[in-house]
């Protein structure tokens, strides 16, 4: 997934991801350039340093958390619900 919003994956966007990741039964991860972090931690997400245009992958440790992964992917695709 490409980060398309102008501010990239900033603290408010990361907090929205965390709220979704907390719904998972297992752990959810966000990966950038081979580095994988816990999607349940704002600080971990921010360490990825994801400006506009970077590519990330969202994955879950448990197959039954597919809906959580899809929700996070929708959030990213919709630019974290932020205006252009």
pLDDT tens sequence across 33-44: 999 999 999 999
Q: Which residues are catalytic?
A: 10
Contact criterion met (CB below 8 Å) for 77 and 1:
yes
CA distance 13 to 34: 21
CA distance 70 to 10: 20
CA distance 11 to 82: 13
Average pLDDT of the chain to the nearest whole number: 96
pTM surpassing 0.75? yes
The CATH code that applies to domain 11-81 is 3.30.1340.10
Listed by start position, the domains of the chain span 11-81
Tokens of 72: 């996070």
pLDDT at 84: 65
Query: pLDDT of the chain along its 84 residues, tens only?
Result: 999 999 999 999 999 999 999 999 999 999 999 999 999 999 999 999 999 999 999 999 999 999 999 999 999 999 998 876
């Amino acid at each position: 997934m490409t980060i398309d919003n102008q501010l990239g994956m900033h603290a408010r966007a990361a907090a929205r991801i965390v709220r979704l990741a907390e719904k998972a039964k297992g752990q959810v991860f966000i990966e950038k350039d081979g580095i994988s972090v816990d999607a349940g931690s704002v600080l971990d997400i921010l360490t990825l340093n994801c400006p506009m245009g970077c590519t990330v992958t969202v994955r879950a440790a448990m197959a039954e958390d597919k809906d959580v992964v899809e929700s996070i992917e929708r959030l990213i695709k919709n630019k974290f619900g932020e205006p252009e």
